[in-house]
Each structure stands twice: as C-alpha cells, then as structure tokens.
C-alpha cells in the first residue's frame, strides 16, 4: 500500500515539474540589450563580466518601467543596462520572467583592451561631461559606463570610442 501511494506521489511530482516547462530555478543576468535581433520573441543580452551575448526568450506583453513609463520589453533601446530574471526551459532556452532597465548605464565591449587602451579610453571618457562614472572589467574587455541619457546616447558613446580608433564589438 505504501509503495503504491509513494509511486503515485512521485508520478504527480514529476508531472507537475514537467508541466511548468522549466528545469531550473530563476537566475539573474545583468548586461545590456544587444544589437542582434533574432525574432519577436527573443532578445540578446550582452552579459556584464563575460562578454557573452546570450539570447533570451521573452513574452512580447512583458512590460518594464523605463523613463517613468511602462514599456514593452521589445522597445527597450539597444545598449540599455538591464537585470533579467529568467529560468531555463526543458528545451534549454532562457525564458524571462522579469526585467528591470536602467537607462543611465551601459556596457561597451572592446575587441582588445590592454593597459594602454584603458588609459586612453579613461582620458576620453573623463573629458565627457555627460559621463558621470565608468569602471573597466579587464577580464571581459568591457567598460561599464554611467551617463546622462538626456545629454548623450549610447550610440554617441560608441561613436566617441570608435572615432578615437578603438574597435568595439
């Protein structure tokens, strides 16, 4: 009798677990919205500290608070810093359950970033009044930048860096 009840309980737990479609608990990913557009249900996040660009599945109806307004996740501008809560589906996809955006931060990824480049980029960024702070993550060839989006855009920051001769991803 105990064995039969135990088997039924195990079977129910397995069904409930598979019924959700998720294999793992929620995980958090921080980075920026990438330039790659895969489809209307997938965005790319360029991860802070790894230089990896990871596709994540989204629900087009998911909203995020951005500049005081509820905005569709699909309308978050490229380069916007985000914190994404996601789960891995049984199919191995990252499925977003929550996203927070900070339009005052971005990440720029460099193809190479040695000590002399860090010094040159530092001088370049320090001379921009709209850039309030920055931090280099040498292991991933990235710089995390805090800036005033009303005064300078992500694309203007990229142009500033590339016009100075640096190659970014």
Give the Cα-Cα-Cα angle 84, 109, 127 (nearest 5 degrees). 110
With H, G, I as helix, E, B as strand and everything else as coil, classify residue 127. Answer: coil
Closest CA to 24 of 85, 67, 76: 85
- Name 73's Cβ contacts closer than 8 Å, sequence gap at least 6: 43, 58, 59, 60, 62, 63, 64, 96, 99
Q: What are the sequence ranges of the domains in the chain?
A: 27-102, 105-163
Do 27-102 and 105-163 agree at the fold level?
no
Place of tokens 């142009």: 159
Pick the CATH number of 105-163 from 3.30.565.10, 3.40.50.720, 3.40.50.1970, 3.30.70.100: 3.30.70.100
pLDDT in tens, the chain (169 residues): 444 443 443 333 333 444 444 445 889 999 999 988 778 888 899 999 998 998 888 887 888 888 888 988 888 999 999 999 988 888 888 888 889 999 999 999 999 888 889 999 999 999 999 999 999 998 999 999 999 999 999 999 999 999 999 999 8
What pLDDT, on the 0 to 100 scale, is given for residue 6?
Answer: 38
pTM above 0.85, yes or no: no
Position 21 scores a pLDDT of 45
Torsion of CA 6, 10, 12, 16, to 10 degrees: 150
Q: Which fold has domain 27-102?
A: OB fold (Dihydrolipoamide Acetyltransferase, E2P) (2.40.50)
Cα gap 13→162, rounded to integer Å: 54
pLDDT, one tens digit per residue, over 84-111 is 998 888 888 888 888 999 999 999 999 9
């Amino acid at each position: 009798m105990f064995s039969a009840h135990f088997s039924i309980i195990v079977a129910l737990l397995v069904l409930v677990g598979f019924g959700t479609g998720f294999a793992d608990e929620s995980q958090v990913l921080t980075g920026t919205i990438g330039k790659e557009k895969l489809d209307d249900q997938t965005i790319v996040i360029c991860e802070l500290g790894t230089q990896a660009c990871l596709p994540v599945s989204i629900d087009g109806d998911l909203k995020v608070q951005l500049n005081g307004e509820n905005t569709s996740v699909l309308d978050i501008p490229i380069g916007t810093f985000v914190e994404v809560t996601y789960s891995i589906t049984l199919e191995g996809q990252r499925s977003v359950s929550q996203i927070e955006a900070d339009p005052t931060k971005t990440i720029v990824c460099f193809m190479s970033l040695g000590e002399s480049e860090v010094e040159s980029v530092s001088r370049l960024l320090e001379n921009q009044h709209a850039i309030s702070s920055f931090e280099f993550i040498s292991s991933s060839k990235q710089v995390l930048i805090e800036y005033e989006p009303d005064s300078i855009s992500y694309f203007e920051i990229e142009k500033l860096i590339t016009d100075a001769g640096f190659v970014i991803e």
